[in-house]
Chains A and B, each alone.
Chain A
Amino acid sequence: MTRELQDRVDEVPPVVAPPAPPTGTPSEGRADASPAPSSDAPAGRDEASAAPDLLGVQSMPMGKAINAGLRKALADDPKVLLMGEDIGPLGGVFRVTEGLHAEFGDDRVIDSPLAESGIVGTAIGLAMRGYRPVLEIQFDGFVFPAFDQITTQLGRQNLRHDGRMPMPVVIRIPYGGHIGSIEHHQESPEAYFTHTPGLRVVSPSSPHDAYWMIQEAIASNDPVIFFEPKSRYWPKGPVDLDHAGIDLHASRVMRRGTDVTVVGHGAMVATLLQAADIAEQEGRSLEVVDLRSLSPIDYGPLVDSVQRTGRLVVAQEAQGFTSLGSEVAATIAERCFYSLEAPVLRVSSFDTPFPPAALEADFLPSPDRVLEAVDRALAY
């Protein structure tokens, strides 16, 4: 039941994005769509011949991709350090930091005391000292003890110091449902953070993006909340180790279509691609957009898409009321008013706590729930 999406390993979309569409509203810092991974690059090279830009394309799951990205960041910059609960010898409860403690030692991969506010609060002090802390919050539902330090301190230090105290802190948060787990282990709390000024919020949907985005997040001089869709930790996908493709804050068209645009992020992207497959069999063409960055949002590709399709369905695992999806819907309504053939529709979970796992399939938006909204959009 709960592994429905994980079983769809083979349906993970290719790294390669289609050619960049003309951007309707160019936004800052957006790079062009990902270049194709060089198919002639050998997948595994020996040490001697491994030039840094010739590592090729490898297939790996997202958890391993983040691990590889963390390893690279630790190796490249002695100021990068990891801190969190059980991330040392155990490698984290999801094993995302596996092997890093053995490789980089106690001072770089730190098992913290069991206190989330302490983790974030001391990371602020470490950043003041010139470190680039990468923190792991064990589960989505356990970030709240740190919420105060994140919102009242982390997101404001640079402003309060007139630009002289950047906070290059990354907070990794495994999030989202589909894993059949107990209370506080399946939540999607993105909106609390996107609502907070001073933070950047991103969420990869594929191993390739995860590998590059974690490194870009670590390189950012602003605090980045890095949401890792935990149901996507295990499916494998291609990772182009040579080319990031696009900017940390760029959104991306994952699949071309003509009838309705559907947009989401994180694990929802897989659901949307699945919905697009089903729709295709029914003769409908969905364009799928992956937001990738939740704050700021790169609206260019989305606006361009909606201007062509005239219809938008916004999908998210989070509760819908005052959510990120609401923000996207409102913005697209403003920017694409004359192109829209139907109101922007939202597909969310329900405005209740995440239910017992036995009911999660009823709670989380499925491809069918997305298609129900697509039908409604087309009915206008």
Chain B
Amino acid sequence: MVQILTPDGVIAPSAEAEPYLALVEGLDDATLETFYRDMVRSRRVDVVGANLQRQGQLALWVPSNGQEAAQVGSAHAARPQDHVFPAYREHVVGMIRGLDPVRIMALLRGATLGGWDPAETGNFHLYTLVLASQTLHATGYAMGLRFDGLVGTGDPETDTAVLVYFGDGSTSQGDANEALVFAASFETPEVFFIQNNHWAISVPVERQSRVPLSRRGHGFGMPGIRIDGNDVLASYAVTRTAMEQARGGEGPSLIEALTYRMGAHTTADDPTKYRPEGELESWIARDPISRYRTWLEGRGASAAFFEEALSDADDFAADVRRRTLELQAPSRPAIFEHVYAEPHPLMAQQADWLERYEAGFEGGAA
């Protein structure tokens, strides 16, 4: 397992971390601080999301607390031209790519089925709720990049790769396995990033696999690397390396980030029903944010920096909350819009019927 920063907040690289140390040493203070700010923001947005759901403002919230390091580190490993295909829990990845989290709120509020245009969100694609479907879309996209000659040119502004996220449970889906087959076969510029948060709702990862999920990579003919997903430095460095290899034409790879879903699966879930006693506590001791903070403190980051990062996160989350409450429901004709790209008689007829039906009540109903 690649681990650079231990749960105690000290740099003590594992043997497997050796190839990545130079990358970490090259990170400047501003970048290191950005990692921290992003993780704190993510955790604040998480609280806001859960509260909004409890207050009836969202149908559902999907928490990501505990997984901040896996997400923030890997997200920063992608270049602007890269494409990112999320599952549904990668809120901070989207934020890092330029997605306004209010778009996620709109989705979970029932105002849209999609919510954003990847062209406007740093190539951060839509959430996909059918588990592992996105792994195939990502792979097809990466095949296209290859066909378009955008791989291995040596020009860092041209070469492009795809980063796709999925969960430990999703690795059992046929689509995930088919995606790995296609990726290996077509040597796609792609990184498969598994967040092994140890649970698929109530089912532990042991039900999905008896061997480390990283080993699956080897079976499909690509590198498979297991990392401490609560170590933002390992997440960044390993993903960065894999993405560079992908862009350079060396093909796909798979990363298994060991992390933990500290919250519920969603706000509809009650993890006390299935979590073994003490498990949560053992992972709180490995919290990705506090270990990183300890390390930054040791490097001399000031108390003022941490205060400022927190108040920035508070302001950010409060703004997300305020704008979520202002979200408008879509108008009725939206039901029929864009179901087809080209005119379709049924859409026209049914939109017209609904319009006339509703108009029939106007003025008549008291």
Q: Which one of A31-39, A160-168, A337-345, A355-363 is at the B interface?
A: A160-168
Report the Cα distance A65→B142, complex, angstroms.
33
CB of B133 within 8 Å of the partner chain: yes
Measured between beta carbons, the chain A residues less than 8 angstroms from B338 are: 158-159, 161-163
Contact B344 A28 (CB under 8 A): yes
Shortest C-beta distance, A225 to chain B (Å), equals 14
Q: Does B178 sit at the interface, judged by CB under 8 A?
A: yes
Chain B minimum-CB-distance residue to A30: B345
Report, as a range, how many residues of chain B touch the other chain: 35 or more
Interface string of B158-186 (1 = CB under 8 A from A): 00000000000000001100110110010
Question: Would A163 and B182 be within 8 Å (CB), given that A117-B136, A221-B342 are in contact?
Answer: no
- A138-168 interface (Cβ within 8 A of B): 145, 148-149, 152-153, 156, 158-164, 166-167
CB of A164 within 8 A of CB of B117, answer: yes
Residues of A within 8 A of B339 (CB): 158-159, 197-198
Q: Is B137 an interface residue (CB 8 A)?
A: yes
Q: Smallest distance from the beta carbon of A301 to chain B beta carbons, Å?
A: 14
Q: Quick check: B144 and A163 within 8 Å, CB to CB? A: no
- Write the chain A residue with the least CB distance to B137: A125
A121 and B139 contacting across the interface, CB-CB below 8 Å: yes
Q: How far is the CB of B122 from the nearest CB of chain A, in Å?
A: 15
Q: A185-211 vs B: 1/0 string, CB under 8 Å? A: 000000000000110100000000000
A 22-53 to B, binary, CB cutoff 8 A, 1 in contact else 0 = 00000111000000000000000000000000
Within 114-128 of B, Cβ neighbours of A (below 8 Å) are at 114, 117-119, 125-126, 128
**A129 with B141: CB separation less than 8 A:** yes
Assess whether B142 is in contact with A152, with CB atoms less than 8 Å apart.
no
The residue in chain A whose Cβ has the minimal distance to the Cβ of B343 is: A28
**Proximity string of chain B (93-121) to chain A, C-beta cutoff 8 Å, 1 when within and 0 when not:** 00000000000000000001110011100
Say yes or no for A130: interface residue by CB 8 A criterion.
yes
Which residue of B118, B144, B175, B344 is within 8 Å of A149 (Cβ)? B175
> B118: which A residues are within 8 A, CB to CB?
128, 161
Q: Are B114 and A122 in contact (CB under 8 A)?
A: no
A124 within 8 A of B: yes
Q: Is the CB of A124 within 8 A of B346?
A: no
User: Is A112 within 8 A of B137, CB to CB?
Assistant: no
Chain B nearest CB, measured from A209 CB (Å):
20
Q: Find chain B residues with CB under 8 A from A112 CB.
A: 182
A92 contacts the other chain (CB 8 A): no
CA distance A124 to B138 in the complex (A): 9
B136 touches A118 (CB 8 A): yes
CB distance from A303 to the nearest CB of B (A): 13
Partner of B138, one of A125, A131, A200: A125
> In the complex the two chains form, is B141's CB within 8 Å of A126's CB?
yes
Known pairs A115-B181, A117-B178. 15 more at Cβ < 8 A?
A28-B348, A107-B147, A121-B136, A121-B178, A124-B136, A124-B140, A125-B141, A125-B144, A128-B137, A129-B141, A148-B175, A159-B338, A164-B117, A164-B119, A298-B345
